[in-house]
Amino acid sequence: MTNAKRVCAECGATVFADAPQGICSVCLFRTGLASEDDKAFESTVARMLKDFGDYELLEEIGRGGQGVVFRARQKSLNRTVALKVIGLGEWATKAHLKRFRLEAEAAASLDHPGIVPIHEVGERDGSCYFSMKLVEGGQLDEVVRHEQMSIGRAVELIAKVSRTVHYAHEHGILHRDIKPGNILLDKTGEPHLTDFGLARLVESESTVTRTLEVLGTPSYMAPEQAVGNNAQLTSATDVYGLGAVLYQLLTGHPPFTGGTTYETIKLLLDTEPRQPRLLNPKIDRDLSTICLKCLEKDPQRRYSSSLALAEDLEHWLKHEPIRAPRTGIVTRGSKWVRRNPTTALLFALSLAFAATVGVIIWKSTSLPSPPSDGVAVLPFVDLSPAKDQEYFCDGISEEILGALAKVEGLRVVARTSSFSFKGKNADVTEIARKLNVQNILEGSHCRLQHGDRLSSARKQHDRQ
């Protein structure tokens, strides 16, 4: 059977009558790959969907990872709504459509003044869509881009959003993509949470939710989400997102921003966020503590719920004591050790070794000794097969030398003098004579296949 032919509405090429939206495959493909800033793409989408059943599309007002949002007029009820249509239309995979439906179902099941309500969910010509209340006012990121928000106002806003998120959690729904662009401010400045495009029913076993695909916006994404471990996402994931938005409102920057998505995620996983007070001196210690508690790498160290976060923010607003403990130097040090276990172990071994040697030498020098008594630390010898550990050997020697120099009453030969024998096969007795000391400390480092091993030997020489 032969299909009737007609002309593509976009480029004028001949297309078959059953072509989706009357657009040829080339133009439809270009539409799916076009950038967000491409004006031609915007006009193409508008023409493709101008007459969308009961909805007349007026203008594009937003774009997310899964779809495009239009200001539209619902003809049957003669009202203006926001209409979200999945971006790829008939080119979308079943997984895309399933995730999009989950978004609509999750949002439609919630009835809260801080959540944008869903009016209708449907499908037309292979395109899935839902209509929702149109919130006039703008996205939070756009609002703060044009006008500075006070610290008190930022805290009040996040406290309200936190209570909204807690309501969703009580109904078994995670948002998973909390960011400034998904918080809408109405004309009175009240926040409304939207775009549950990444939400999932906590009890659901959908294959969509168990995929290893990383979903979310990197700068506001929790570490457990960044590694794609969707099975371990909990309400603490949304607490992190709330903290990330608060951090940006307070400092003007998200906690982590790299040149690429990869760089942002690497920063997120490997580094701690800078103290907000360093970026904005007006932020007090308590508020900085609240913000950083939300951004803990370990979900169990964050607030136990978004409600607990809201309550602590409200305590701060009322000038009452907050519940979050301040982070001390010991806590920050332990975080560094957890992120760098190998380096920390080697550093601890070198310090312990230096302390042991220091005690031995201190005991030996506690007795009366001639003025020439002292110690010289020779550079450690690199015995690794690849001979690529010289920098590490020098570092250990310098650490030990520095520790011994702090022993009161102990004369320690300067690094310049002791390192002058590096690479020379001089006899230790001769070295002791030239440096005018009775104690020589030398050692070696051998990097083996199954780990690092540090070996050393202490030799004491009595000069006649």
Q: Which pLDDT tens digit goes with each residue over 126-159?
A: 677 889 999 988 889 888 888 889 999 999 999 9
Looking at residue 113, its pLDDT comes to 94
Interatomic CA distance for residues 149 and 198, integer angstroms: 28
- CATH value at residue 116: 3.30.200.20
Q: Which residue has the higher pLDDT, 340 or 330?
A: 340
Selection from 160, 106, 157 nearest residue 130 by Cα: 106
Looking at residue 46, its pLDDT comes to 52
- Contact assessment for residue 380 and residue 393, using Cβ atoms and an 8 Å cutoff: yes
CA atoms within 13 A on the CB side of 349: 16
Asked if 200 and 307 sit in the same domain, the reply is yes
For 53-57, 348-352, 432-436, which range has the lowest pLDDT when averaged over its residues? 348-352
Looking at residue 159, its pLDDT comes to 98
Interatomic CA distance for residues 191 and 153, integer angstroms: 12
- The answer, yes or no, to whether residue 296 has pLDDT greater than 70, is yes
Asked if 167 and 74 sit in the same domain, the reply is no
Average pLDDT of 45-54? 65
Asked if 360 and 410 sit in the same domain, the reply is yes
Asked if 219 and 300 sit in the same domain, the reply is yes
- The answer, yes or no, to whether residue 453 has pLDDT greater than 60, is no
- Contact assessment for residue 118 and residue 104, using Cβ atoms and an 8 Å cutoff: yes
Q: Which residue has the higher pLDDT, 265 or 353?
A: 265
**What interhelical angle do 306-317 and 285-294 show, nearest 10?**
170
- Contact assessment for residue 15 and residue 22, using Cβ atoms and an 8 Å cutoff: yes
Q: Where are the alpha helices (DSSP H) in 189-305?
A: 223-226, 235-251, 261-270, 276-279, 285-294
Q: Which of 18, 51, 111, 177 is catalytic?
A: 177
Two structure tokens written together for 393: 């050997």
Predicted confidence band of residue 450 (pLDDT cuts 50, 70, 90): very low
* Range(s) of the domain holding residue 161: 140-337
Asked if 119 and 196 sit in the same domain, the reply is no
Counting residues of the chain whose pLDDT is more than 70, the rounded percentage is 66
Q: Is residue 234 packed enough to be buried (19+ CB in 10 Å), middle (13-18) or exposed (0-12)?
A: middle
Q: Return the CA Rg of the chain.
A: 32
Two structure tokens written together for 356: 């042991």
Q: Which pLDDT tens digit goes with each residue over 100-114?
A: 777 777 778 889 999
CA atoms within 13 A on the CB side of 95: 7
> Considering its fold, how many domains does the chain have in total?
4
How many other C-beta atoms can be found within 10 angstroms of the C-beta atom of residue 250?
A: 22
Asked if 386 and 409 sit in the same domain, the reply is yes
Average pLDDT of 304-315? 97
Asked if 197 and 298 sit in the same domain, the reply is yes
Two structure tokens written together for 62: 């937003």
Looking at residue 436, its pLDDT comes to 83
Looking at residue 185, its pLDDT comes to 94
**Helix (H, G, I), strand (E, B), or coil: what is residue 129?**
strand
Query: How far is C-alpha 111 from the chain's CA centre?
Result: 30
Interatomic CA distance for residues 17 and 210, integer angstroms: 39
Asked if 200 and 311 sit in the same domain, the reply is yes
Most confident listed range (125-129, 206-210, 353-357): 125-129
Asked if 313 and 346 sit in the same domain, the reply is no
Buried b (16+ CB within 10 A) or exposed e, 53-83: eebbbeebebebebbbbbbbebeeeeeebbb
Q: Which pLDDT tens digit goes with each residue over 368-418?
A: 444 456 888 888 887 776 666 776 777 777 778 777 877 777 888 887 887
- The answer, yes or no, to whether residue 273 has pLDDT greater than 70, is yes
394 is annotated as an active-site residue: no
Selection from 460, 247, 266, 233 nearest residue 363 by Cα: 460
Q: Which residue has the higher pLDDT, 91 or 29?
A: 91
- CATH value at residue 400: 3.40.50
**Which of 284, 313, 337 is where one domain is finished?**
337
- CATH value at residue 184: 1.10.510.10
Looking at residue 164, its pLDDT comes to 97
**Which of 337, 355, 387 is where one domain is finished?**
337
- Region of residue 322 (phi > 0: left; psi between -120 and 50: alpha; otherwise: beta): beta
Asked if 325 and 426 sit in the same domain, the reply is no
Q: Which residue has the higher pLDDT, 402 or 266?
A: 266
Looking at residue 437, its pLDDT comes to 82
- The answer, yes or no, to whether residue 5 has pLDDT greater than 50, is no
Average pLDDT of 200-217? 48
Asked if 244 and 378 sit in the same domain, the reply is no
Average pLDDT of 327-338? 48
Q: Which pLDDT tens digit goes with each residue over 62-96?
A: 776 667 889 999 999 999 999 988 765 555 667 76
- The answer, yes or no, to whether residue 424 has pLDDT greater than 70, is yes
**Which of 306, 322, 337 is where one domain is finished?**
337
Asked if 366 and 422 sit in the same domain, the reply is yes
Residues found in the chain: 464
Interatomic CA distance for residues 82 and 117, integer angstroms: 10
